Each structure stands twice: as C-alpha cells, then as structure tokens.
Structure 1
Amino acid sequence: MKVQIKNSHPRRPLPSALIRKQAKAILNALGSHDAEISILVTDDGEISGLNKTYLGRTGPTNVIAFPMREGAFTNISPDLLGDVVISADTAAREAEAAGISIEERFTELLVHGILHLLGYDHERSESDEKEMEKKAQDVLRLLKGARGRQKSPVIQRQKQHQTDSAGAYKMAKLAVNVDHIATIRQARGVDYPDPVAAAVMAQLAGADGIVAHLREDRRHIQDKDVVRLRETAHRFILEMAATPEMEKIAVRIKPDLVTLVPEKRRELTTEGGLNLLRKKPGVFDTVSKLRGKGIEVSMFIDPDPLQVKKALEIGATAVEIHTGAFCDAPSPKKRQRELDRVREAAEVAHGLGLTVNAGHGLCYNTIQAMTTIKEIDEFSIGHSIVSRAALVGMDRAVRDMLCLIRGH
C-alpha cells in the first residue's frame, strides 16, 4: 500500500503522518490492501481552478477525486486508484459549521474521495447516493469506533462497561480474536480468508476491539497481519510472549494494548496463565520497556489474587483473567467454584485500580454466567465466534455474542 501526500496549503498544514494513517485505515476497511493513491491538500484558490478545468464548475469545493480506474489503460497498473484533492479552507469552514474539528471533517472528505476512486458515485442516481452514503458511514464508524455525524441511519454502538466516578457499572466490552480466521488461511497456504477483513466485519457488527496473537512459530497470525490490523482496528490488542523479538514488533506498531501470554510450541492454544510468582525477569523487562514507550500492558493470568497483586507490582495496567477452568469444568459444582475464583480475582484487580479483562474458552453457553461479574471491563473471545461465523457469518456471530453480554 502506497500513499503519497502533498500539502501545498500555505496556512493550514495538516500532519502528513495523520493523513497517511487515516488513508491506510480507509483503504484497509474497503479491502484495497495493495492500493496506491495520491492526496493533495490545497486551498480554495487551487481547487477552484481544478473544479473549473476538469468539472466545468465555478468556485471552490471540498473534495475532488481523479480515478485512475477509468479509461482504456486501467489494466496497466490496476492497484493505482488515483488522486484525491481536498481544500483545507473549505474543510475548515464546514468543520466550524458542524461543530467538529478540521481533522474530523478532513477524514470524512477523504473517505468520500477514496470511495469515488473505487467507483462509487452519488451523482448517478438516488440509489447510488444511498449506497455511497451508507458505505461512507460504515467506514467512518469503523475508523472512529464511535457514533460520528450521520446523514443516514447506521447501527449505533452500545454503551460500554466500566465504572464511572460515581461507582456505577456500565456494560462490558467485546474484543474479538481473529487468530482462527488466519488458522483457516494458513491451513491451505493461500491468502484467504483475511483476518483483517474479518476484523472489519466484527467492528461493523459492534465489536469494541480486535485481538490477535502473534506467536513465535507464526502458526496463524503473520507479521503483516498485525501491521494491517493496527491500521484498521479502532482498538487493537496484541497478544505476545515476553521476548525481545516481540518487544521490537510491539514498539514498532504500537498497539493500544499488549497482553503478555505464556507460549509452548506444542500447545494447541494458550494453556493457563503466566505464573508471575516465579521469578521471570524477562516479563518485568518487557513490561518496563513497553510502558516506557507509552504502551499499556496486560497480564494473562489464572484467577488468583496473588497473581493479580504481582501483576500490579510488575507494572501492568490491566489483567486478563484466564476463564478456561470455568469453561471446561465437568460439573455444576466445579463450575460454580471456578466462577467464584474468577469473581474474587476480578474484585481484587478492580480494587487495585487495574483494568479487568477476561477470556479463554468463553462461548455462547458460558458467557452469561461471566456477565454477573460486574468488575470485568472486557471479554476477549475468538474461537467460538469464528466457529459460529462459519455457519451464520461474522456479523450475526458478533451480534449474537453482544446480545448475551449486554442482556438483550
């Protein structure tokens, strides 16, 4: 993916890094992972000239797109989408009128322009206008991870679970793990199904975050996946072992959260939590380095108050409580015992000011018991959602899980 940026506006220099990040996120969300585009940020004077010369219209406009997929030579470079020109002057006026920042309005115009490059055209017909508007709103909602301004109705995000300053509880969040989308892909050595596309679908269905585990043996998620997921996910959680190699990757891509997990080469999936009570200088060093780079760190631990306290001592800002023993309990009595262990650990972690996440083995049959633990901020769920998605689609699978978590 290549994004070329030129900012020729003399007074409104928007950060090129921000523009490039947003452009890549938009292209990923639209499935154009190998695309090339050029973005020109200019003023009303220059865009007025382009508007007159190429469109026969007088005066400034907010955005003009010049698609390269039209005409006789489109097959020469199929990944070259074209150019988007945006007037920062007009964007600033429209932002002020709407009561939003110029950066937010610029992103809306960039989405609009890129959609034109991909063949969407709101001027062809009323149905084309509705299709383009819906697609734009879906992409903007994905980018913002929130509601945004809307002309047409789109699915609203539900309130999330955390404790506010008054101690009242809100509903828990859902982070969807896309590892096993990659497992299916790697089984055949092809380039599909794409975990990034699955992440986009999950977020459009209401997921609050995306999780991926980059393992040392690269059995499912690959390095390129985590780069693209970071660009696409409005909240990206990287699971990894505490190794120098993984530290470098995390520092480079800067996920919203790193969850440190144990790894064994022969395990099918992560078995048990980190035992922080044993001396693990590597874990402490990794936490220190990541926190020093401004990256939040969570510890994947068994439901044990001593492990929770050690996580805080080491410097973690969050814990993810391993729920596997609860999910695999062979009898109601043992399941209740394991639920009580998770509850106690969550209460201790919450009382210490740690963010409390939970995951491993949770499915549509076990999640509702976990929702009675109000200290849990977020559930991390992958295998059961991906399994259901194989039968009913990712959108339905995520929505069904959200209904169980949120009780409606």
Structure 2
Amino acid sequence: MKKSRGLINEKELSREFGAEHSVPVLIRSTYSKFLPLLRLRRAAEILLRSIGRSGTELSILLVDDAEMMQLNRQWLRRSCSTNVISFSQHGDDFRQPDNDLLGDVVISVDTARLESANAGVELGQRLEELLVHGLVHLLGEDHELGPVEAERMKCKEQALLSALYKELRMADLCINIDHVATVRQARGTTEPDPVTAAGIVEMAGADGIVVHLREDRRHIQDRDVRLLRQTIKTRLTLEMAATEEMIGIASDIRPDIVTLVPEGREELTTEGGLDVVTLEKQLTTAVTRLHDANIPVSLFVDPERDQIMAAKQTGADCIEIHTGLYADAPSSKIQDREFEKIVAMARAAMDLDLRVHAGHGLNYRNTARLAAVSEIQEFSIGHAVIGRAVLVGLERAVREMLSLVQKGYLE
C-alpha cells in the first residue's frame, strides 16, 4: 500500500548514521535487536541503480510488529500488522523523472523473522525481498487492484530480485602490486616502477590498488605510496601495521582505506590474521585515530567468530578474511571445510554490519569459488597476478582474474 507521508527525518538520520549516508538511502531501525543494516543499504543502492534512480532518495524504516500495527491503524485504518508498507513522498507523481524523493518503505522485522524461518532463508534475504516489494509499490504497482495488476507486480519484483542477486555476486577486484616493487628492490634500481604498474592495472579494469608499506620497507617505499595517492584513479588500499609511525604516514597520505595487518620481520609474507581478541585495546586506539583522519579501516582477520566479534568492537568498518588456509589446503576435503568456514564468517560479519573483503593466497584456480559468495564484496589478490604477468603481460593477467571474480563461474 502507498501513502503520502515522510516517516524519516534526514537530519536525524545524518546524526545517527553519519552525513555520508544522508542520500540516497536512509535507514533507521527502532527494532531492539541488531540488524544487517549495511547489507540492506547495499541492496537498496543496487536496486535504485538498476531502475535508473540512483540519485533518488529512498528511506527505509525497520520496526517491530507493535509499531507496524500502529502505522497500519493510523494511516491505512487496519487493525493488524503487515510485513511491509510503502509511503510515497509525492502521491501520484512518482513517474516524474525530476522527483528526487521516492518515499518510505517500512518493514516489520518480527514478521520478516517469522517468514524467513518458515521459508528456511536468512533474515537478510527476507528483508531484501520485502524491500523489493515495497519499492515496486513506490514505483506505482499495487497487487491489491486485481489479478492482472498482481501478476504484473510479481514479474517486476522477480526482475528486480534477479538484478539484485546478480550484482551482489560481483565483488570488486583490487590488485596488490607489492611484488612489482620486490623485483625492483632485488637489484636496487628504479625499475620496474609499481606506480607505472598501477596505471596498467587500472586500465585493465581493476577496481583498486593495494600496497603494503612494511616497517622494514622490503618492497613498497614511502615514495611509492605518495605517488600512488597522487596518480591512481580508482582507490588506494594501504596495508600496514598498527604502529605510531604507520598511523602517522596514513594520516598524512590519506589512502581510501587502511587495512591493519600483523607483521613479522622474519616472515616472507603475512602469515595469518590479527589476533584482535588479544590486541583489541591497541587496535581500537589505531582505528579511532585513523577515523579521526577520516580514513575507513579494515582488519585482516582469520575466519573465526571471536576475531570477527572483536573486530566489530574496535569500531572497524570492514574485515578482510584471511583465505590462506583455504588457498593452501592439501586436500579437497580440507579446502571444502575452509570454504564453508569463510562463507559462514562472511555472513556473520555482514550481519554485524561489517563490510567483507577477502584475500591471501588466492589464484586462478581457487578464486572463482569464493567469487560466488555474495557477502564478499572485494578481493585483494597480488602474487598470482604478478606471477602470471611475467608470462602473459600485466594487462592480460589482470583481465583474466577480473573475469573470474566478476562472473564467478557460478555454474
């Protein structure tokens, strides 16, 4: 049902969720339990883009059955709770292209929980389905007008859900170019230049560049990070230890995101995730300082529930799941077990409103399977791509990996 009524105050939402989320998707929850708001926001943004309304404001309100019943009674004169109600911001003028306010979708989480349990699906999935139903109402469809209208609305919902789940499977690919610098440092010369390599990687279609500025400067140098910040057109991820020196460098250079990683001088590469449980206080301080510099923060963690819960407590925006045990599994049985662990922990992180990245040891044989996991939104892959680039060229190596990640070889 549609009703012309704005239920969400933009200023109030900006205070609650941050000014960067003021448009086009506003989400507010009066529900007492934690909900996957980030997942729902991402779904809403994809849906708006798929209908050509990415510049249109959509408000989502999550309530319990009691509040939904009150809204039904107040606006629709119904003395019952429903799973979703839509309130148009502009009456019958929803078809006008210059409208920048679409309306409100109100979802009863109590009812959604019951429906998801009965259908054997995740709560997050059912919330997405109800969001689609409410959005189609805002676009002018109403299944209560008759069988023809109901069938038309159903077809539109199915089309939107197909578009949503197709895009949710398409994770970003960021290329780690550390090993371009490794070759350069082996001879102590100026070539190959990782900054030049980054340009080729971007032209090949990658979504971002990743570098690890280590305390021992064994490959990437300060000069590289500064030039990359000035030249790349996508986004820059800076991997680093949570030290005073590195926090200062990051605050000065301002990468698009920092990934905090463990670091040992004797290791060839990062060998495992952060022990966030043990280091929670130190990491919380680092996250806070980076946030003060307006830098989002990701924590590199093993796929373990206690580590992910601790990561949430630090205030981090994101986790990167360490995929090394999956990538290096000595048997298919062990790899299957590690895969299921990654999937479960990616879902757990998403439910905690953490963005989910994955990386370490991924190559052209084991990435496609993970690319089918919709909760993983970004892959960080380096060694395999740089190694293949020696044989086929950097641009082709990136394109081949990009194809695996984007298409996922899902079937």
Distance 1:197 1:370 in 2: 29
Distance 2:264 2:237 in 1: 20
Q: Which residue of 1 aligns with 2:223?
A: 224
Distance 2:389 2:265 in 1: 27
Shift of 1:281: 2.9
Q: Which residue of 2 aligns with 1:340?
A: 340
Distance 2:395 2:405 in 1: 16
For the pair 1:174 / 2:185, whether they are aligned, the reply is: no
Distance 1:279 1:299 in 2: 12
Q: Which residue of 2 aligns with 1:199?
A: 198
Shift of 1:282: 2.4
Q: Which residue of 2 aligns with 1:304?
A: 304
8 Å CA contact 2:178–2:220 kept in 1: the answer is: yes
Partner SS, residue 353 of structure 2 = coil
Distance 1:175 1:302 in 2: 19
Taking a change above 3 Å as real, the CA distance of residues 185 and 279 of structure 1, as seen in their structure-2 partners, is closer
Distance 1:279 1:181 in 2: 32
Partner SS, residue 278 of structure 1 = helix
Distance 2:203 2:369 in 1: 26
Q: Which residue of 1 aligns with 2:252?
A: 252
Q: Which residue of 2 aligns with 1:39?
A: none
Deviation readout 1:111-142 (Å, 9 max, x if unpaired)? xxxxxxxxxxxxxxxxxxxxxxxxxxxxxxxx
Q: Which residue of 2 aligns with 1:350?
A: 350
AA aligned opposite 1:314:
T
Shift of 1:216: 0.3
Distance 2:213 2:365 in 1: 28
Q: Which residue of 2 aligns with 1:270?
A: 270
Distance 2:239 2:406 in 1: 25
Q: Which residue of 2 aligns with 1:213?
A: 212
8 Å CA contact 2:280–2:311 kept in 1: the answer is: no
Distance 2:316 2:323 in 1: 19
Distance 1:232 1:351 in 2: 35
Shift of 1:351: 1.2
- Residues 60-75 of structure 1: matches in 2 within 5 Å? none
Q: Which residue of 1 aligns with 2:4?
A: none
For the pair 1:237 / 2:257, whether they are aligned, the reply is: no
- Residues 319-334 of structure 1: matches in 2 within 5 Å? 319-334=319-334
Shift of 1:379: 0.3
Partner SS, residue 277 of structure 2 = coil
TM-score (norm 2): 0.58
Q: Which residue of 1 aligns with 2:54?
A: none
Deviation readout 1:175-209 (Å, 9 max, x if unpaired)? 00000000000000000001011110001000000
Shift of 1:279: 3.7
Q: Which residue of 2 aligns with 1:377?
A: 377
8 Å CA contact 2:281–2:314 kept in 1: the answer is: no
Partner SS, residue 278 of structure 2 = coil
Deviation readout 1:136-183 (Å, 9 max, x if unpaired)? xxxxxxxxxxxxxxxxxxxxxxxxxxx997583421100000000000
Partner SS, residue 320 of structure 2 = strand
Taking a change above 3 Å as real, the CA distance of residues 186 and 279 of structure 1, as seen in their structure-2 partners, is closer
Shift of 1:293: 1.3
Distance 1:229 1:366 in 2: 29
- Residues 149-164 of structure 1: matches in 2 within 5 Å? none
Distance 2:403 2:352 in 1: 30
AA aligned opposite 2:216:
D
Partner SS, residue 319 of structure 1 = strand
Q: Which residue of 2 aligns with 1:359?
A: 359
8 Å CA contact 1:389–1:396 kept in 2: the answer is: yes
Deviation readout 1:341-381 (Å, 9 max, x if unpaired)? 10011001111111100000000010011112110000000
AA aligned opposite 1:361:
G
AA aligned opposite 2:378:
E
AA aligned opposite 1:362:
L
AA aligned opposite 2:229:
R
8 Å CA contact 1:243–1:282 kept in 2: the answer is: no
CA-atom RMSD in angstroms: 1.5
Distance 1:330 1:218 in 2: 32
Distance 2:266 2:369 in 1: 31
TM-score (norm 1): 0.59
Specify which structure has the bigger relative contact order, considering alpha-carbon pairs within 8 angstroms and separated by 6 or more residues: 2
Distance 1:317 1:280 in 2: 15
8 Å CA contact 1:301–1:321 kept in 2: the answer is: yes
Shift of 1:280: 4.3
Q: Which residue of 1 aligns with 2:31?
A: none
Distance 1:174 1:218 in 2: 25
Aligned length: 246
Distance 2:345 2:288 in 1: 24
Q: Which residue of 1 aligns with 2:182?
A: 183
Partner SS, residue 400 of structure 1 = helix
Shift of 1:307: 1.1
- Name segments (4+ residues, structure 1) moved above 4 Å: 163-167
AA aligned opposite 1:344:
A
Q: Name structure 2 gaps, 5 residues minimum.
A: 1-126, 133-160
Q: Which residue of 1 aligns with 2:261?
A: 261
Shift of 1:297: 0.1
8 Å CA contact 2:320–2:359 kept in 1: the answer is: yes
Q: Which residue of 2 aligns with 1:289?
A: 289
Deviation readout 1:246-271 (Å, 9 max, x if unpaired)? 00000000000000000000000001
| Percent identity of equivalent pairs | 52
Q: Which residue of 2 aligns with 1:398?
A: 398
8 Å CA contact 2:356–2:376 kept in 1: the answer is: yes
Distance 1:303 1:381 in 2: 17
Q: Which residue of 2 aligns with 1:16?
A: none
